[in-house]
Amino acid sequence: MPHLFSPLTIKDITLRNRIGVSPMCQYSADDGIPNDWHLVHLGSRAVGGAGLVIVEATSVEPRGRISPEDLGIYSEKHVEPFERMTRFIKDQGAVPGIQLAHAGRKASTYAPWKQKEYGVDVPDHQGGWEIIGPSAIPFSEKNRTPKALSLEDIQQIQEAFRQATIRAREAGFQWVEFHAAHGYLAHSFYSPLSNERTDQYGGSFDNRIRFVIETVRLMRQEWPDNLPFTVRISSTDWVDGGWTIEDSIELSKRLKKEGVDLIDCSTGGNTPNPSINVGPSYQVPFSEKIRHAADIATAAVGLINQGMQADDHIRNERADIVLMGREMLRNPYFPLKASQDVHQKDKLDIPVQYERGWTGWN
């Protein structure tokens, strides 16, 4: 029976354990280019023992960034700085992953700490560029109204995803995640709450998922067959009349046919204040349902911050891997603590440089 410290093999990639660093925006880049912060931040989590380290939402074109400080992979000049990062993460025994994204109608905002600094709660305008979406429906009454994409615009963005996938491969990533969650562009296409199109990209379920399916198809062609290709979805909108778990199961079945290897099961993000009963592991039931009903590997994420808790999800087949966000910000060495909690200390890689930190005082 697999447990938190069992290796996980998908295609030709084997993770040393089932703990992954969830993608987390750092709002610390200039023109999308990763710098020393990103190298040290992500590198530390690889040193800390995670099996998988996924780089934050990285935009496929400049206007797809959530803020002007987001990472991007929209030109050749981005490849080398990412390559530096992937090389280091691999050297530490972890697998480097990247989340490829387009923020759609939630783009062009402030970094969270700037919102505080400026004393505003309107997450808008800093980027100053036009925002786009499937339909001219703003995310909230405080946000600007996006421009509805033309068919030509859609093709151009899909092409940007294709090129970003090629660059991710050139930069040495071994795991790619298409960001189709949290109210960003892809999610806003499949959720009926943000898509009122009357063409082939709106209306029926098949039409609303068309953007995701077509984009994944283009990306999958460029991503090596022997490397994992994954998709993060919002498994529910948590809103009546919105996207549901049943929709997610059907989408996951379709994505499996497109060559997707794993579904990363998040929720929400497409409406400002949905009613969610948040608590430990609150999103895990979505991972469990999708895993069994769509017969596909899943990642569970959300308020999982204890070793025993994470181990339990793997042992009980609720997920194939657990991703951790905020706990990893608090403690890059979380895997070490978890390995002690679940009595698998011998399964952890401790960098030789740090061995004396774990072997007592002599």
**Annotated active-site positions, please?**
184
* Residue 53 or 304 having the CB closest to ligand FMN: 304
- Check binding of 266 to ligand FMN (CB under 6 A): yes
Of 250, 246, 311, 253, nearest to 281 (Cα)?
311
- Check binding of 73 to ligand FMN (CB under 6 A): no
Tell me the C-alpha distance between 66 and 56, whole Å.
Answer: 11
- Check binding of 57 to ligand FMN (CB under 6 A): yes
- Check binding of 302 to ligand FMN (CB under 6 A): yes
Tell me the C-alpha distance between 235 and 191, whole Å.
Answer: 11
Binding mask 339-358 for ligand FMN (x = CB under 6 A): --------------------
- Check binding of 325 to ligand FMN (CB under 6 A): yes
* Residue 47 or 233 having the CB closest to ligand FMN: 233
Q: Which of residues 137-196 bind ligand FMN (CB under 6 A)?
A: 179, 181-182
* Residue 182 or 318 having the CB closest to ligand FMN: 182
Helix (H) or strand (E) holding 196: none
Q: Which of residues 209-238 bind ligand FMN (CB under 6 A)?
A: 232
Residue 99 in contact with residue 179, Cβ under 8 Å? yes
Binding mask 4-43 for ligand FMN (x = CB under 6 A): ------------------xxxx------------------
Instruction: Give burial (CB, 10 Å; 0-12/13-18/19+) of 247.
Output: buried
Provide, rounded to whole angstroms, the least separation between the CB of residue 359 and ligand FMN: 30
Helix (H) or strand (E) holding 79: helix 79-91
Size of the site for ligand FMN (CB under 6 A): 20
Task: Give the residue closest to ligand FMN by C-beta.
Answer: 325
Residue 137 in contact with residue 194, Cβ under 8 Å? yes
Tell me the C-alpha distance between 189 and 197, whole Å.
Answer: 9
Single residue of 209, 324, 342, 350 touching ligand FMN by CB under 6 A = 324
Q: Got the DSSP string for 264-291?
A: EEE---SSSS------TTTTHHHHHHHH
Tell me the C-alpha distance between 331 and 333, whole Å.
Answer: 5
Binding-site ranges for ligand FMN (CB under 6 A) = 22-25, 56-57, 99, 179, 181-182, 232, 266, 301-304, 324-327
